Amino acid sequence: MKFEIERDEENIIIIRLAGELIEGEILPLKKEFEKLLAENLTKFIIDFSALNFIDSSGIGFLINLKKIISAKDGTLKFTMVNQNIKSILNTLKLTPFFDMYKSIDEAIFSF
């Protein structure tokens, strides 16, 4: 999995994921989130537009990440989640747990 991180002028962090969010590829992303949270950043958007697949470890990471960010009075939003990943989240009844938006602009506006 590859990822890019962007910080906008309002300190909203946008993480663009590409490839597969699977066991064995999560650690670099986790470490990056730890650094960002240590800076007391609280607004995060994950762009799923280039993410092809997620396994149970990836889902577990996202659940845990949401809990950690929420515990720090932060917000985590998802954008452009493809139908395959949405279907997995629906099957696991996780769609109400995550805030999902059609575009990055829509997610930014919702803060």
What one-character-per-residue DSSP string does 57-101 give? HHHHHHHHHHHHHHHTT-EEEEES--HHHHHHHHHTT-TTTSEEE
pLDDT of residue 61: 96
Q: Is 61 exposed, middle or buried (0-12, 13-18, 19+ CB in 10 A)?
A: buried
- Render each residue's pLDDT in the chain as its tens digit; 111 residues: 899 999 998 999 999 999 999 999 999 999 999 999 999 999 999 999 999 999 999 999 999 999 999 999 999 999 999 999 999 999 999 989 999 999 999 999 999
DSSP helix/strand/coil, 12? strand
The fold for domain 2-109 equals Transcription Regulator spoIIAA (3.30.750)
Dmax (CA) for the chain in angstroms is: 37
Tokens of 90: 């629906």
